[in-house]
Each structure stands twice: as C-alpha cells, then as structure tokens.
C-alpha cells in the first residue's frame, strides 16, 4: 500500500481508503461487512471513512465492531455530519447543537474516543458558517477530532471557510470529499485549483462510478444480481448511467486499455483517480472481500499519458465537467 499526506497536513493516510456507504448496515450482512474490512486491513488499508447518516448510524456501528481489537493509533477513522438523523428540527445541518451531538453519537457508535477527521457532509445555508467553524474548533481543542474537512463543498464555500479560520485563529480545513471519477470531473476546473493553492487534499468517493466503470453493466442486459444498480435504494443513484446505451458502449471500449496495462477495469478506474496530485485518497466500497482485493491492486500504479489521452478520447462528451453540478440543499430544515 502506498501512503500520502492528507493535503498539506501532517496526517498520512493510505491512498486507497475503505468506505461503507450503502453497504454496511443495509446492503450486506454484518458477517460479510466484517470480512470486507478484514480484507482491507490485510491489504494494508489504514484509512476508513463512514458517516452518521449511513444506514442511520448502523454503518458506524458495524465499522466499529469490525475494527475492534485493532491498534487505534495505526488507523485513520473518518466520519461526517450534516444530514437528518431524526425528526427534530435540530437533528440535521451544521448548527453547533447538531455538530456537537453528532460527534458524541459517532464516537459512541464507532467505539473510539476520537476521530482522525470529522467532515461537514454538505454546506449548510441555514447556519452561520462562523458558528459551524467554532463548533469544529472546539472539538479539535477537546481532542475529540484531530482534523476537520468538508464534503461536496463548492470552491467559494471552501474559500469562505478558510477566510473565517484565518480571521478567527481556527485550525483550517485540510480536506474535501467530492465525487470524482473518469465520468464525473466537476471538481477539476474550480475546486481543485483552490485546494491546490490552499493545501487541501481530495478524499474522493465513487472512483469506479458505483461500479459503472468495472464494465459489469452491459447494453441490453439487466443489472447483475447483487450489484448496486439492482438494489432499489442504491440503484436510483446509477439509473441514468446504466440505462445510457452510448455510455455503456464507450465504457466497454475501455476494457482493452485495462488489459493492455495489465489491470482490471476497477483498477484502471482507481489508478486514473490517483494520478491527480491533489487526490490524497480514493475511497472504495465493497459487498464482497474479493472486490476489496481487486480495487487495492491499483495502489502504486502509474498510468502513462498516452493511455490517459485514449481514455479521454473514448469517453468524449459523456464526461460531466460543470462545476455547478456540485451543490448542497438550500434548506435542510424545510
């Protein structure tokens, strides 16, 4: 396993992280989830990403049990706060009340006394950013959180947070967690330049586009049993992709490129993401241990410029690049 610094911070993370959105506590049984975590550990993964909202806390609980007995100082455990965790008006967003309560609940579910990274899961337009930043700062001072990051924030929102941190003497955010893959490149034009300038690293999710870039989805065939697209809840995130015949045909044309590089399709996709120097880690998920082992095979892989250019030529206008596609809900309390 290769390792990278999280942005310009001193925290070192495995360049492939394990994430449990959708899978733990919902899509797969706990025995399988634990086996996936063990496979990640065996492959050298030390960085684990989750969130309170994943299966409404169950994903954190499963991850906590799966990591029990591991040396805590040898792991980097990340979680997030923002989305509704109950029916109450204050059970959501980035108010001081929800952030403080959120970290206490996450620590309890994960069975740890601190988080290496605590992330604002979206931007909250209904709470003063100064209030959110002070709440995060207090958690850092208390030792419950070591570093602070954000997820799916736009460039101008990241810049506002940095400005407030500098003005108020708070610790700066060190990371952003956006969706990023061969097909979804909306961070490249605005978010990445700001983050490169300010020393913020990307911890990207969906490097294989929910399985789309593995080549498992074929023109004229139903989604394979057990795949994310076959799941009623998970599948809604992939519906537009898996029903786009032009896109499916283009992805199929990537298979010879992967074979030429001696990689699986998943490894090609993860290695493509990791070639971006602003990416600190790529988060992979899995419903079977063998998927973990396959994805982790991308660590240390260097793709040559000619292959990357051919990927761009094949995918053409199927690539999404509009930075406006990164957005947070206007009113989480509506």
Contact 203, 80 (CB under 8 A): no
Name the pTM for this structure: 0.93
pLDDT at residue 101 above 80?
Answer: yes
Q: Please give the DSSP secondary-structure letter assigned to residue 222.
A: P
Q: What is the pLDDT of residue 227?
A: 56
In CATH, what is the architecture of 3-212+264-306+319-325?
A: Alpha-Beta Barrel (3.20)
Q: Which whole number is the average pLDDT over 130-140? A: 98
Residue-wise pLDDT for 13-45, tens only, equals 999 999 998 878 777 889 999 999 999 999 999
What the block records as the tokens of 106 is: 């996450």
pLDDT at residue 267 above 70?
Answer: yes
Residue-wise pLDDT for 139-166, tens only, equals 999 999 999 999 999 999 999 999 999 9
Q: What is d(CA 219, CA 207) in angstroms, rounded to the nearest whole number?
A: 21
- 92 vs 219: which has the higher pLDDT: 92
- 224 vs 107: which has the higher pLDDT: 107
Burial label, 3 (beta-carbon count in 10 A; 0-12, 13-18, 19+): middle
Q: Which whole number is the average pLDDT over 193-202? A: 98
Residue-wise pLDDT for 209-220, tens only, equals 989 999 887 765
Enumerate the β-bridge partners of residue 115. 145
Q: Which whole number is the average pLDDT over 237-255? A: 83
Tell me, yes or no, if 54 is annotated catalytic. yes
Q: Which of 5, 7, 4 has the alpha carbon at shortest distance from 196? A: 7
Q: Which of 126, 51, 54 has the alpha carbon at shortest distance from 96? A: 126
Residue in 18, 54, 118, 147 annotated catalytic: 54
Q: Which of 50, 51, 62, 52 has the alpha carbon at shortest distance from 25? A: 62
Contact 220, 267 (CB under 8 A): no
Helix axes 96-110, 58-67, angle to 10 degrees: 40
Sequence-distant (6+) residues with CB within 8 A of 111 are 64, 65, 67, 68
pLDDT at residue 311 above 90?
Answer: yes
Sequence-distant (6+) residues with CB within 8 A of 107 are 113, 114, 115, 144
| Domain residue extents for the chain | 3-212+264-306+319-325
Q: What is the 3-state secondary structure (H, E, C) of 229-272?
A: HHCHHHHCCCHHHHCCHHHHHHHHCCHHHHHHCCCCHHHHHHHH
Confidence of residue 71 (pLDDT cuts 50, 70, 90): very high
Neighbours of 130 (CB within 10 A): 14
What the block records as the tokens of 185 is: 């490149």
């Amino acid at each position: 396993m290769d390792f990278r610094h999280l942005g310009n911070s001193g925290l070192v993370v495995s360049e492939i992280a394990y994430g449990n959105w959708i899978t733990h506590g919902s899509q797969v049984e706990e025995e399988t989830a634990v086996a996936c975590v063990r496979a990640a550990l065996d492959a050298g993964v030390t960085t684990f990403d989750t969130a309170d909202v994943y299966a409404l806390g169950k994903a954190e609980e499963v991850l906590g049990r799966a990591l029990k007995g591991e040396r805590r100082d040898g792991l980097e455990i990340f979680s997030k706060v923002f989305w509704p965790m109950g029916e109450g008006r204050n059970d959501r967003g980035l108010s001081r009340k929800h952030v403080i309560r959120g970290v206490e609940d996450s620590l309890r579910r994960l069975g740890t006394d601190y988080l290496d990274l605590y992330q604002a899961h979206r931007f909250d337009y209904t709470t003063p950013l100064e209030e959110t930043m002070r709440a995060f700062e207090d958690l850092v001072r208390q030792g419950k959180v070591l570093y602070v990051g954000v997820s799916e924030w736009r460039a101008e929102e990241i810049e506002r947070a940095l400005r407030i941190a500098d003005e108020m003497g708070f610790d700066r955010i060190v990371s952003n967690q956006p969706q990023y893959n061969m097909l979804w490149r909306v961070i490249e034009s605005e978010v990445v330049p700001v983050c490169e300038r300010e020393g913020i690293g990307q911890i990207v999710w969906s490097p294989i586009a929910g399985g789309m870039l593995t080549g498992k989805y074929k023109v004229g065939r139903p989604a394979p049993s057990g795949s994310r697209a076959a799941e009623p809840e998970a599948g809604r995130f992939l519906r537009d992709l898996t029903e786009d015949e032009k896109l499916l045909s283009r992805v199929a044309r990537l298979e010879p490129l992967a074979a030429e590089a001696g990689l699986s399709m998943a490894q090609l996709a993860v290695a493509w993401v990791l070639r971006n120097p602003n990416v600190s880690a790529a988060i992979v998920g899995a419903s079977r241990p063998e998927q973990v082992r396959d994805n982790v095979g991308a660590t240390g892989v260097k793709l040559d410029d000619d292959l990357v250019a051919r990927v761009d030529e094949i995918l053409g206008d199927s690539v999404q690049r509009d930075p406006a596609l990164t957005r947070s809900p206007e009113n989480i309390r509506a």
